[in-house]
Structure 1
């Protein structure tokens, strides 16, 4: 029987112009669905895990379309609470060359935003689960949703369920001070912390020496210190940090580091030409959770997670629609992109 993973967060309607059109010039928008923890659940379902996504969605057709977008890939939606009036929306304008991508959120008052703690029975939701995952985007919505996250973490800890969190700081949702305060409490329950180059600095004021994300320079030694500081402060078993070197909106170098409490493991670096970078961090989280549940050692786990997220950057939409075999092939060294016949 496949291992059960539960993720909790908001799935949103994504509206985006075709290709590289700007929002001001677009006369039609494509509609898809996505969101941090939903993206992780889809990744895990594609790798063969029993992945459940928990949220709150309206009863109307847009809410149902969001549910259907997950069911399509085998995600368990049976624990989704139905209620509220609207689904959160985000508008995406894809960047190109030196023009960055832009996101506009329209999520205030969404079904999850207006959720109440008593609507979620975490003992029932987490029954049979081996892993629980959330991101820093979810408690950023408001204090009640942060309290729901805290209740989930406390219940998971009590039930012996491993907990992972992607810090995922979003400055459009809350201040650094508020993020540090709320995430500081939640992180006391977390076993595996996932962050990017900037998250630890934004949320907890832990900076990597000699690194500048604007110029794309990443100092490995600096991130060793960031990971060990995070582990010391919160007692994390493992800390993973994705390392993105942005050459332009289209071209990035991509790698990551995993600290397992004893040693530091750096993955190989991929030079990526990007089709769609939204969900790149979530695909890394999904890959890392899968690798750790499969019992991979630290080196193989970080290579699997980075290969999975590298492939995601070649796929339109939020979801990482790749198989375990495709990830293992890339992680094993076949990065040629040659046609498979």
Structure 2
């Protein structure tokens, strides 16, 4: 089985219990998560050989983060230890018309202060088939931008398929800086994954007749977005998740995949959200799994969307669902009836 390499930051997630607000909380639930780590968990759950690459502090908190990956079967052999701290993010879960809120405490984390010499990409990519990163990772620091670029160059030299989720984060960098850096990295990317806002924020490519905050998406507009992205960067495939947000608790969820032979749209799911953090990552993990296993493109986008639909029902960043559970939903059984 060929290995999938995911590179990025894993963080400690601290959340008030249930739907309490920060100002109400007397305790916080502690879990771990982060874009590429979430993808590696999904892939490992599906039985794939997934490895996560990062740098963490050489202390008990860093080890706890490693343990959170290992317990679900992720290969942690390439994780480097060093630096001073693990990044933290605080999550206040929204409900109804009150949005979720995230506060980051990740400055000078171990991965953000990593150096190019920390990672031997020739060794890491030996026997690998796929490399995945997100737009969050090169935004962490100039050092990590250089490391990400070096990884992409080496991945292409070794014939790996490279995927990237644009994942724009306004608190990490400006749209101008994101566009410049990500534009350079897209040279190495085969599969580009974006949501309803990323293409506009990073590359200024906007879908017409769409109001994200009003829950109105126009599929024809996103066809044009995908076409422009593919033409600009010569991607093999472009995937765009389509979230219609009616409230923090209720969304419509679907996606589109664009390849040389045309557009593929998934079924649309109406979801009652338990935890939406990691929803996009679970989509990416599902899509990578389906494409590596040579699903046809319609099957691939259906698998990815169903997997991420189920993730919205799972607490925490990680998507704890199986291939069989995803396939059951695809076949139309979304009743939620007790399985005995």
TM normalised by structure 1 equals: 0.99
Post-superposition shift, 1:336?
A: 1.2
- CA distance in structure 1 between the partners assigned to 2:318 and 2:2 by the alignment: 20
- CA distance in structure 2 between the partners assigned to 1:329 and 1:237 by the alignment: 29
Contact 1:16 1:92 in 2 (8 A): yes
- CA distance in structure 1 between the partners assigned to 2:80 and 2:100 by the alignment: 32
Residue number in structure 2 paired with 1:282: 281
Post-superposition shift, 1:9?
A: 0.1
TM normalised by structure 2 equals: 0.99
Post-superposition shift, 1:142?
A: 1.1
Post-superposition shift, 1:236?
A: 0.4
Post-superposition shift, 1:337?
A: 1.2
- CA distance in structure 1 between the partners assigned to 2:133 and 2:140 by the alignment: 13
Contact 1:231 1:261 in 2 (8 A): no
Residue number in structure 2 paired with 1:213: 212
Question: Any idea what the Cα deviations from partners look like across 1:36-87, whole Å, max 9, x if unmatched?
Answer: 0000000000001000000000110000000000000000000001001100
Give the SS at the match of 1:78.
coil
RMSD: 0.5
- CA distance in structure 2 between the partners assigned to 1:261 and 1:30 by the alignment: 45
Residue number in structure 1 paired with 2:175: 176
Post-superposition shift, 1:22?
A: 0.4
Question: Any idea what the Cα deviations from partners look like across 1:137-196, whole Å, max 9, x if unmatched?
Answer: 000111110110000000000000000000000001110000000000001100000000
Moved more, 247-256 or 329-338: 329-338
- CA distance in structure 2 between the partners assigned to 1:334 and 1:226 by the alignment: 32
Residue number in structure 2 paired with 1:67: 66
Give the SS at the match of 2:128.
coil
- CA distance in structure 2 between the partners assigned to 1:172 and 1:252 by the alignment: 25
Runs of 4+ deviating beyond 2 Å? none
Unmatched segments (≥5 aa) in structure 2: none
Residue number in structure 1 paired with 2:162: 163
Contact 1:244 1:253 in 2 (8 A): yes
Residue number in structure 1 paired with 2:16: 17
Residue number in structure 1 paired with 2:131: 132
- CA distance in structure 2 between the partners assigned to 1:330 and 1:336 by the alignment: 9
Unmatched segments (≥5 aa) in structure 1: none
Post-superposition shift, 1:262?
A: 2.3
- CA distance in structure 2 between the partners assigned to 1:172 and 1:40 by the alignment: 22
Post-superposition shift, 1:3?
A: 2.7
Match status 1:27 vs 2:23: no
- CA distance in structure 2 between the partners assigned to 1:102 and 1:76 by the alignment: 31
Post-superposition shift, 1:15?
A: 0.3
